[in-house]
Amino acid sequence: MKIKKAVIPVGGLGTRFLPATKAQPKEMLPIVDKPAIQYIVEEAVESGIESIIFITGRNKKSLEDHFDKSFELEQMLEEKQKWNLLKEIQNISSMANIHYIRQKEPKGLGHAVLCAEQFIGNEPFAVLLGDDIMISEKPALKQMIDAYHHTNQSVIGVNAVALENVYKYGIIDPGRKFGQVHSVKDLVEKPTIENTPSNIAVMGRYILNPSIFSYLKAIERGVGNEWQLTDALRLQCQQEKLFALELEGKRYDIGDKAGYLHAMIEVALNHDDLHHKLLPYLERIVEKERIENRRNTRSSSKSII
């Protein structure tokens, strides 16, 4: 069955990025010249998605405006004959059919996905987290959709992470591996190093069978006192089969300050007109840091002597 619909939850509060996210959504923070959310919508569209539903919350109006038609701006660009910019702006509002549902309270990712039940109906669908940017040759969601067409069971996107970082993620207990696909025996949300079943972490991409909605209704509040998608996936993998695809590409958590900066630098380095301006600047900074570190190491070893 073709995967035509995607859910993009953007209802979170973005507390890790305060105060920047006090009055604006983290998904609207720019990565060079596009807001983060546009990369995610483009990935969905390039993967064949036709309809997108955003699960929104407070302070998300700018996101809705971004994907809406902007008459005044288009008129102004037309008058000034800025045709390339005009085309780019018009493309944003015609990329896909975009819908919105408001999650009245941020009760967790599981609750946010459940808000999309009526819109999805009884077909498999994609979920892309609004703060996880994937940069890859083949769009990450397309990789997932291709894997789904082999398994016909829910598939979650995963990548190996350093053991000291498992506490930030949902982690799978992997079973057998077929190429890049693991069968999933169980999942744990944000485990400690001591109780983690592996270092294979869930990234923000999912293809879910609609049975997930019944599991989302069956779970209780979990980690962080929130309804966790991971807990519903646990139930799903006990009753049905669940698979995890190791994604090719780089993932950036732009809800985290360091992740955001990494995304910004890497995307800027991939821009032809920025590469030659940014790289020498970064090299100068790194060299300066190296010299200062050397000096500090020397003076601290002298003071020990």
What residues line the site for ligand UTP (CB under 6 A)?
A: 9-16, 55, 103, 106-109, 111-112, 129-131, 255
Which is closer to ligand UTP, CB of 9 or CB of 124?
9
Residue nearest to ligand UTP (CB): 12
CB of 113 to ligand UTP, least distance (A): 8
CB of 10 to ligand UTP, least distance (A): 5
Which is closer to ligand UTP, CB of 106 or CB of 222?
106
CB of 81 to ligand UTP, least distance (A): 38
Which is closer to ligand UTP, CB of 16 or CB of 262?
16
In SS3 terms, 180-237 reads as CEEEEEEEEECCCCCCCCCCEEEEEEEEECCCHHHHHHHCCCCHHHCCCHHHHHHHHH
DSSP 255-292: TSHHHHHHHHHHHHHTSHHHHHHHHHHHHHHHHHHHHH
Q: Using CA of residue 28, residue 7, residue 64, residue 134, what is the dihedral sign?
A: positive
Which is closer to ligand UTP, CB of 2 or CB of 104?
104
Q: Which residues contact 170 (CB under 8 A, 6 or more apart)?
A: 187, 188, 189, 190, 201, 202, 228, 229, 230, 233
Q: Which residues contact 162 (CB under 8 A, 6 or more apart)?
A: 199
Query: What is the spatial distance between Cα 11 and Cα 106, in angstroms, rounded to a whole number?
Result: 6
Which is closer to ligand UTP, CB of 102 or CB of 290?
102
CB of 56 to ligand UTP, least distance (A): 8
Q: What tokens does 274 get?
A: 């920025």
Q: What is the DSSP letter of 31?
A: E
Residue 70 falls in which region: left (phi positive, over 0), alpha (psi -120 to 50) or beta: beta
Which is closer to ligand UTP, CB of 38 or CB of 77?
38
CB of 66 to ligand UTP, least distance (A): 15
Query: What is the spatial distance between Cα 28 and Cα 37, in angstroms, rounded to a whole number?
Result: 6
CB of 25 to ligand UTP, least distance (A): 8
Q: Using CA of residue 105, residue 106, residue 111, residue 117, what is the dihedral sign?
A: positive
Which is closer to ligand UTP, CB of 77 or CB of 255?
255
CB of 204 to ligand UTP, least distance (A): 7
